[in-house]
Amino acid sequence: MISIAKPQIGAAEKQAVAAVLDSGMIANGAIVTQFENEFAEYIGAKHTVATTSGTTALEVALRALGIGAGDKVLTTPFSFIASTNAIIYAGATPVFADIDPDTFLIDPDAIETALATDPSIKALLIVHLFGQACNMDRIMAIVKKHNLLLIEDCAQAHDAKWNGKTVGTFGDAGCFSFYPTKNMTTGEGGAVVTDRSNVHDHARLLINHGMKVRYHHDIIGYNYRMTNIAGAIGRCQLERLPKFNESRRAHAAILDAEITNPLITTPKTIARAEHVYHQYTVRVAENRRDDFTKHLSDNGIGFGVFYPLSIPEQACYADRGFQTVYPVTDRVKREVVSLPVHPGLSNDEVRTVARVINEFR
């Protein structure tokens, strides 16, 4: 069986966790601070606040930017649900703009249309989906023109770049997830990066019950603190991230070169985007996806369908009156299949994936 994801935990991670356990300082502490400093430096942001997950990082970023009740946040209908749930946790209202069919990323033209329809939109929450940066030339021009706050969901795009600039550093805040299937992991964990010191200060208060001085609570906050155990894993994983991404890119290049089946469309990459292939997502010819995924299963190839439904049509939002028709998303969600490219695979295993795909009729 060739799996769709496999966290890469080695001797360094095990040793680092053992050292934390032996130290007795297993909750939030100095190791997390070291991880935060190293992550900020790596991404090229002034500040990092480590959190319990990518989801809590997104909620904290929105709240730290002052987004709340009465505010509208424009986002993509094609993502993991957390990117929209975070807007709802913050008390704000999500609105959606359709995606580009080639990249699966929010379409700048659709953003412009949404802003023309509703000039009260205050913020833009974009998702660098599957490891590819959104078109940041277009998006930054829109953000400037309409004076929007910009939050980047980088949960699938650690160290992805646009024009050589790392994602997470374009907007007011960037949010990362360190869930085990992501490009790097801390078990569960997340981070907010920002260059804005007031946003950093507010985020730090939010994750620690509004506390600067012990048992003096300035605001109503949360316990979203990362543990030293997670931080220790994160420090090791961050060192290995360039190799992980290099391996994902090499595997993607093999699939690009070797998949020749006309029923399968390989992903389109934009020259200015440095893709980190959190997922390698192909499109299957109309009405053939079920046959294709059965063929993969029959041949021991793992896969994922990210995502089978658009966010606004999810059952949990049925009473919210969201507009639920997004023509591009509604087509793409029926055609996508993500294939194994993770760093735990050998090149031969990736070639096997391509061969099995080429045998599909």
Ligand X SMILES: *Cc1c(COP(=O)(O)O)cnc(C)c1O
Residues 6+ apart with CB under 8 A from 318: none
User: Is the Cβ of residue 53 or residue 281 nearer to ligand X in the bound state?
Assistant: 53
329: contact with ligand X by CB under 6 A: no
CB of 177 to ligand X, least distance (A): 3
Are the CB atoms for 129 and 112 separated by under 8 Å?
Answer: no
CB of 156 to ligand X, least distance (A): 5
Closest CA to 87 of 117, 49, 125: 125
Instruction: Return the residue of 54, 174, 221, 231 that touches ligand X, per CB under 6 A.
Output: 54
Residues 6+ apart with CB under 8 A from 296: 302, 303, 337, 356, 357
x-or-dash pattern for ligand X, window 114-153, by CB under 6 A? Answer: -------------x-------------------------x
177: contact with ligand X by CB under 6 A: yes
224: contact with ligand X by CB under 6 A: no
Residues 6+ apart with CB under 8 A from 159: 42, 43, 166, 183, 241, 242, 245, 276
Residues 6+ apart with CB under 8 A from 194: 45, 46, 47, 61, 64, 172, 173, 174, 200, 203
190: contact with ligand X by CB under 6 A: yes
DSSP structure string for 56-102: HHHHHHHHHTT--TT-EEEE-SSS-THHHHHHHHTT-EEEE--B-TT
Instruction: Return the residue of 79, 183, 310, 329 that touches ligand X, per CB under 6 A.
Output: 79
Piece of 15-23, 49-57, 108-116, 260-268 that binds ligand X (CB under 6 A): 49-57
Piece of 1-9, 14-22, 78-86, 161-169 that binds ligand X (CB under 6 A): 78-86
61: contact with ligand X by CB under 6 A: no
User: Is the Cβ of residue 167 or residue 356 nearer to ligand X in the bound state?
Assistant: 167
C-alpha to C-alpha distances, 294 to 22, 176, 259, 337, 357, nearest whole angstrom: 47, 33, 18, 12, 11
Q: Which residue is nearest to ligand X (CB)?
A: 54
CB of 281 to ligand X, least distance (A): 13
User: Is the Cβ of residue 282 or residue 311 nearer to ligand X in the bound state?
Assistant: 311
Binding site for ligand X (CB under 6 A): 53-55, 79-80, 82-83, 127, 153, 155-156, 177, 179, 190
